[in-house]
DNA sequence: GCCCCAATAT
DNA sequence: GATATTGGGG
């Protein structure tokens, strides 16, 4: 039923005290002007090991939607090109969790984008990624599903392979609202290829308090989804949340050396 | 307008 | 190679 869905969704929005409190993890994209600033002051350490960016400007959790920096004060903000979005495993996991949570049925770009609630993430970003992800799933059902065949999915899907694929993705059975797909721990025991992009200190072990989703109501489920993403307790103790907003990392492309790409940096691993 | 898919561009 | 963008169609 749609009604339920829209119900919890609106309730969700109503009940939330404030985005800042609920979603401390809201990942802010850097503004273009900031990017330019960084580009100007860019350090020479190409392959840095530590924190690449000094936080000269405390990013505001909610204003990030506007890239519309008038840094140069001339370009219409909408025309400005955003840097390419880099789908880190963490970001991708968030994507997968969102899709899993919505169920394949409702997993459309717009909805996914909303669920992920990542600042600066556009519908196009999600659509593009979703398209590719679907291909991956398809490839997986035909190739690797049977067992025995050896259809190995190949190593070309590093990113997608980094997050567990919810079982119900692979077999379109009649109904799966996936009411409770537990976005399980991703056993990031080994480092993924993109690990070099992440500061080593970011690797913390993740533990979910299973006690939390004992009796999730529709309303709270959404909150808990987000809470789970941020590896925080639900709204209970907002005081303890460190609100260190994420810094988007503009990394100079190591190979080409000319491109600027945007990496979303979760402060915790997912 | 949103969505999907495929193809093409960067 | 990974994303973004575009185009055709529902």
Please state, in angstroms and as integers, the Cα–Cα distance from residue A150 to each residue in A33, A146, A163, A167, A224, following that order.
49, 8, 20, 19, 38
Angle at A132 between CA A127 and CA A138, to 5 degrees: 125
Q: How far apart are CA A208 and CA A213, in angstroms?
A: 10
C-alpha distance across the termini of chain A, in Å:
31
Q: Is the CB of A191 under 7 A from strand C?
A: no
pLDDT of residue A163: 75
Q: How far apart are CA A257 and CA A252, in angstroms?
A: 6
**Residues facing A251 on adjacent strands:** A261
Q: Is the CB of A130 under 7 A from strand B?
A: yes
pLDDT of residue A189: 30
**Chain CA centroid to CA A64, Å:** 15
Q: Is the CB of A85 under 7 A from strand B?
A: no
Consecutive 10-residue averages of pLDDT for chain A (270 residues): 45 40 41 45 37 36 37 52 83 87 81 84 90 83 54 65 69 48 39 34 29 41 60 38 38 47 53
User: Which strand C nucleotides have any atom less than 7 A from protein CB atoms?
Assistant: 1-6
pLDDT of residue A90: 84
Q: Is the CB of A220 under 7 A from strand C?
A: no
**Residues facing A249 on adjacent strands:** A263
pLDDT of residue A106: 79
Does residue A136 contact residue A160 with C-beta atoms inside 8 Å? yes
For the record, the structure tokens of A2 come out as 């749609």
pLDDT of residue A128: 92
How far in angstroms lies nucleotide C10's C1' from the CA of residue A128? Answer: 19
HSE-up of residue A101 (Cα within 13 Å, Cβ side): 26
How far in angstroms lies nucleotide C6's C1' from the CA of residue A204? Answer: 41
pLDDT of residue A164: 75
For the record, the structure tokens of A171 come out as 């077999």
Please state, in angstroms and as integers, the Cα–Cα distance from residue A251 to each residue in A46, A86, A197, following that order.
8, 10, 9
For residue A160, give the 3-state DSSP assignment: helix
Which residue has its C-alpha nearest to nucleotide C3's C1'?
A84
Q: Is the CB of A85 under 7 A from strand C?
A: yes
Nucleotide nearest to A156 (CA to C1'): C1
For the record, the structure tokens of A136 come out as 């991956």
Please state, in angstroms and as integers, the Cα–Cα distance from residue A50 to each residue in A198, A255, A262, following that order.
9, 19, 17
Q: How far apart are CA A39 and CA A245, in angstroms?
A: 21
pLDDT of residue A257: 44
């Amino acid at each position: 039923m749609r009604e339920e869905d829209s119900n919890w969704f609106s309730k969700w929005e109503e009940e939330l005290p404030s985005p800042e409190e609920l979603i401390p993890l809201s990942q802010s994209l850097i503004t273009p002007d900031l990017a330019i600033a960084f580009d100007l002051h860019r350090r020479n350490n190409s392959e840095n090991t530590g924190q690449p960016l000094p936080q000269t400007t405390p990013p505001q959790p909610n204003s990030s939607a506007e890239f519309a920096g008038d840094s140069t004060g001339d370009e219409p903000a909408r025309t400005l090109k955003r840097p390419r979005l880099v789908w880190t495993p963490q970001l991708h996991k968030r994507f997968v969790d969102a899709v899993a949570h919505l169920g394949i049925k409702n997993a459309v770009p717009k909805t996914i984008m909303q669920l992920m609630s990542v600042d600066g993430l556009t519908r196009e970003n999600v659509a593009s990624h979703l398209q590719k992800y679907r291909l991956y799933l398809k490839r997986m059902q035909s190739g690797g599903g049977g067992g025995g065949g050896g259809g190995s999915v190949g190593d070309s899907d590093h990113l997608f392979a980094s997050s567990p694929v919810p079982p119900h993705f692979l077999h379109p059975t009649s109904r799966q609202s996936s009411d409770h797909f537990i976005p399980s721990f991703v056993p990031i025991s080994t480092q993924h290829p993109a690990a070099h992009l992440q500061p080593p200190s970011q690797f913390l072990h993740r533990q979910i308090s299973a006690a939390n989703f004992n009796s999730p109501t529709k309303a709270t489920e959404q909150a808990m989804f987000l809470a789970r993403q941020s590896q925080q307790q639900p709204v209970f103790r907002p005081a303890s949340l460190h609100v260190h907003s994420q810094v988007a990392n503009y990394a100079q492309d190591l190979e080409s050396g000319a491109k600027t790409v945007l990496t979303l940096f979760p402060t915790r691993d997912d």
